[in-house]
Amino acid sequence: MSPTKLTVLISGSGTNLQAIIDALPTTLPAETNIVRVISNRKAAYGLHRASKANISTKYHNLVSYKKKYENDEKRAREEYDKDLAKMILEDGTDVVVCAGFMHILSEEFLGPLGEGGVSIINLHPALRGQFNGANAIERAHKAFMDGEITQTGVMIHYVISEVDMGEPLLEVPIPLTHPDDDDIAALEERIHRIEHKAIVEGTRLAIEAHWKKRGQ
């Protein structure tokens, strides 16, 4: 297997990023490196985690695009995504990991990376077809409290234009039978612990699938 270059996209504290960083020497395939961590939020603590691990970082700001194309938000997002794709391709990235990246990626991003043979995966705190999009944990908790579901989950999936509906690499069902599941804070903590393991395993599977597709 060839050396693998990862780009990790984040928006927040970066605990899932930290799980990947911690797994680099032991769990992920040999010669896997994070070439850059990119955030769409300047204050994201994950940027500090990356810098502490001597990983290059970039703050890619959507606000400046909205100002430039103030009367056309669709154009602003497309131009943002074009530049994001260009940056990643210039880094020679093999696999992009969306680890809590709060931005819907358009075809202006997905198309060029697909043509470049770059795999894109995303962590989502729900199972496929359940609670797509934002606030998945809160929505799952409400459905549980209303008696509508008896389990939720975490998945790592390939990214497509239809949000959170790409093919799963890994799904971890979470039965909602824990005594604390009626406490949303306790449920969030439980799910986040599972996410940290899932993001590492999903990244490993994505790397292996990437090189298998390339015949290595």
> In whole angstroms, what is the distance from residue 30 CA to residue 45 CA?
27
Q: Which residue stretches of the chain are H helix?
A: 15-23, 45-52, 62-68, 73-90, 107-115, 136-145, 184-213
Output the CA–CA distances (angstroms, integers) from residue 82 to 60, 65, 75, 89, in the order listed. 12, 11, 10, 11
Q: Letter for the amino acid at 89?
A: L
Nearest to 200, CA basis, from 31, 22, 12, 9: 22
Told to judge if 124 belongs to the known catalytic residues of this protein, a careful annotator would answer yes
> In whole angstroms, what is the distance from residue 14 CA to residue 127 CA?
21
Kindly name the residue from 124, 141, 157, 210 that is annotated as catalytic: 124
Could you give the residue numbers annotated as active site?
Answer: 124
